[in-house]
Structure 1
Amino acid sequence: MTEYELHQAYRHPLFYDEKDQTVVRQSAFEPSFIEDMIARAEEETPWDDIEKLIPVIIGEWKRLADVMRPLFEDRPKETHDLMVKGLSLFLTLLFWTNEKYVNVYDWESELDHLEVKIVNPKERIQFVLKRPAVYFSFIQLDEMMTEMHKMAAKKVAMKKKSR
């Protein structure tokens, strides 16, 4: 198993503790931002294959969402870790669509430099970050994923058209 250094860009208390120094890939997109960490370490640019990665990220989100929906009815605390993973998927899609590595540590200032983003991204992302295990955060994240999916697909289509 390969260990990857926990770069400053991934250091946010919702995703990693201060004491975490390295991470090991457990599965696809697990732990948070692992695909981005691997790409950064190997100097790869995953956004070059964004057309193939969009369905993978969206598929993973849909799988998570299907697990979470019933949990919100009687066990909302069990959704926390799933929502954190969902938010990491959203941020990965957001940054990769903009051809950048994820930077959750300084995400707010990074947003100002992103060309492709959802409407009111700061407010909406902050809302989910502050209350990840709340049903309204789930609804918000689901809407954000839908919007970002459309925008990413549009960018891919525009890129193809310009070739």
Structure 2
Amino acid sequence: MTQSISLKVPAELDHPFFFPEKETILEKECYTGWNGSIPFEAFPYEILYYNNVVSYAPWTKGAMHIKELLEKWKGIDTECSILFSERKAGRTLGLMKQGIGLFLNAVFWMHGKPVVLSDCRVQIESFYNIPVNAAERVSFILARPASFHSYRQLSELFREFEKLYVKFMIINKNNRNV
């Protein structure tokens, strides 16, 4: 029997796009380990972490999970592409929210940190393995998440990030902690 708990959205994750409400409900047991088949919820591991609830911390082994995040994006990318080609941009918002969340997870986790939305731009600018102008591009996407131009930017960010990730993994292939 899984136990749902109500948690305050921590200051580190307080962002109206992802959390219009100040509280969220999570099934704590789902996050005691890594389970890639969990349906999308915005930053569940971080919510638990910032609320001092013991759970798995994927950023401690972030590079290990990035390949899976990139695969999830490929499915979202395909769906968005179809919706935009059918001129159904209004139906992309939920998918874009998931995609932006996956991108932020990938970037932060590869750098061994939990996602921080409240200071996102400064945090991203402090990272070394990121696409050019990533912070500005993420800001642009968050300002107009359901627009075709934001989708194209996010798609490009993922493409560029995947190249950086592959390079990172090659350079660190003998490092067991990656």
Counterpart pick for 2:83 among 61, 64, 71 = 71
Mapped partners of 2:98, 2:80: distance in 1: 12
Q: Larger deviation: 64-73 or 152-161?
A: 152-161
Structure 2 counterpart of 1:11, which letter?
D
Q: Number of residue pairs matched?
A: 162
Counterpart pick for 1:11 among 2, 9, 14 = 14
Larger proportion of helix = 1
Cα deviation, residue 53, structure 1: 1.0
1:80 aligned onto 2:82: no
Mapped partners of 2:71, 2:101: distance in 1: 14
Task: Report which structure shows greater RCO (CA 8 Å, sep ≥6).
Answer: 1
Cα deviation, residue 121, structure 1: 1.3
- Residue equivalent to 1:136: 149
Mapped partners of 2:72, 2:45: distance in 1: 13
Unaligned runs of 5+ in 1: none
Mapped partners of 1:47, 1:144: distance in 2: 20
Q: Larger deviation: 33-42 or 120-129?
A: 33-42
TM-score by length of 2: 0.79
Structure 1 counterpart of 2:74, which letter?
K
Counterpart pick for 1:58 among 48, 63, 70 = 70
- Residue equivalent to 2:22: 20
Q: Sequence identity, in percent? A: 27
Mapped partners of 2:122, 2:62: distance in 1: 23
Cα deviation, residue 55, structure 1: 1.9
* Maintained 8 Å contact 1:76/1:133: yes
Cα deviation, residue 116, structure 1: 1.7
* Maintained 8 Å contact 1:28/1:35: no
Cα deviation, residue 157, structure 1: 2.2
- Residue equivalent to 2:41: 31
Mapped partners of 2:151, 2:159: distance in 1: 12
- The two structures, once aligned, show a CA RMSD in angstroms of 2.3
Change beyond 3 A, Cα 1:92–1:105:
same
Structure 1 counterpart of 2:14, which letter?
R
TM-score by length of 1: 0.86
Mapped partners of 2:164, 2:76: distance in 1: 21
* Maintained 8 Å contact 1:23/1:31: no
